[in-house]
């Protein structure tokens, strides 16, 4: 059985499900298959009144990846707010730069704290390598400005997500999805991240957020330390080994 035949069988099971439990099982099986043809059905599942099925559909769409992005972006303007919220979660998980404007708007203005959280986290997993080289700096600056603002959100869980994304943005190559982040492309902006993290540590009322900031600071400092000593290690590795003196091997 090829993928197309399997997809049709699994899609039919979703469409014919006659109970919440059967719908959940069918969507989970369809999502687990990871077949591109299942994208429209998985997106439709985001609008069902079944949170479990929506979670499974989001996971499936994230696993399928970039090919799901255009259809997800079309859904954003749908009247169904619940489906829109799930779509934003999927876009955040995929990390495609085509979702940048949607994630920025959701992270800054959406009334749902869970949507703002997902969007804020998604801003830290954008795939910078998808952008033309000449646009990386301007887009990263835009994301940085947004995250600095979002890190002051009234809800602690959104601030927590912003801290996580600021950490990712500050670290070059630490996230394989992100490629080179601000530490490489905009080193002069990196201090704004470290300063903001310290300010959050000094002033945030939530212990969970402060603990997450400490972890971020440790990771950033660890990378800076490694980069500082990397040139020295590279030089040592390339030094010419000592040549034994003539006759050194004789007894």
- What does the pLDDT read at residue 227? 63
- What does the pLDDT read at residue 97? 95
- What does the pLDDT read at residue 185? 75
Q: How far apart are alpha carbons 182 and 157 in whole angstroms?
A: 24
Is 113 exposed, middle or buried (CB count within 10 Å of its CB: 0-12, 13-18, 19+)? Answer: middle
- What does the pLDDT read at residue 246? 47
- What does the pLDDT read at residue 80? 76
- What does the pLDDT read at residue 187? 74
pLDDT tens digits, one per residue of 74-97: 887 666 788 888 999 999 999 999
The CA-atom distances, in angstroms, between 79 and each of 57, 73, 74, 75 are 19, 13, 11, 9
* pLDDT over 90 percentage in the chain: 64
pLDDT tens digits, one per residue of 49-71: 899 999 999 999 999 999 999 99
- What does the pLDDT read at residue 5? 87
- What does the pLDDT read at residue 239? 56
CA dihedral 60, 66, 67, 70 (to 10 degrees): 110
- What does the pLDDT read at residue 177? 45
The CA-atom distances, in angstroms, between 196 and each of 105, 122, 183, 202, 216 are 21, 19, 15, 10, 12
pLDDT tens digits, one per residue of 176-195: 444 456 767 777 788 899 99
- What does the pLDDT read at residue 174? 42
Going from the first residue of the chain to its last (251 residues), give the mean pLDDT of each consecutive group of 10, the final group possibly shorter: 86 93 95 94 92 96 96 79 89 95 94 92 91 89 95 97 93 51 74 94 97 95 72 52 47 41
- What does the pLDDT read at residue 178? 44
Q: Is the pTM of this model over 0.85?
A: no
């Amino acid at each position: 059985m090829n993928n197309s035949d399997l997809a049709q069988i699994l899609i039919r099971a979703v469409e014919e499900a006659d109970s919440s439990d059967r719908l959940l099982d069918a969507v989970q099986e369809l999502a687990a298959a990871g077949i591109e043809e299942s994208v429209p059905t998985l997106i439709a599942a985001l609008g069902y009144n079944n949170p479990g099925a929506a979670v499974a559909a989001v996971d499936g769409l994230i696993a399928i990846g970039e090919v799901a992005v255009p259809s997800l972006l079309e859904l954003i303007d749908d009247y169904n707010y619940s489906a829109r919220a799930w779509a934003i979660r999927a876009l955040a998980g995929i990390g495609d730069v085509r979702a940048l404007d949607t994630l920025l708007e959701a992270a800054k203005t959406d009334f749902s704290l869970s949507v703002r959280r997902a969007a804020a986290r998604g801003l830290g997993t954008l795939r910078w390598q998808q952008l033309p080289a000449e646009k990386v700096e301007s887009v990263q600056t835009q994301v940085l400005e947004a995250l600095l603002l979002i890190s002051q959100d009234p809800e602690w869980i959104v601030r927590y997500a912003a801290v996580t994304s600021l950490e990712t943005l500050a670290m070059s190559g630490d996230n394989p999805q992100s490629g080179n982040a601000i530490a490489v492309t905009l080193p002069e902006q990196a201090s704004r991240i470290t300063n903001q993290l310290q300010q959050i540590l000094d002033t945030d009322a939530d212990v969970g957020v402060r603990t997450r900031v400490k972890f971020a600071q440790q990771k950033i400092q660890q990378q800076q330390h490694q980069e500082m000593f990397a040139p020295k290690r590279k030089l040592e590795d390339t030094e010419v080994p000592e040549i034994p003196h003539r006759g050194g091997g004789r007894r």
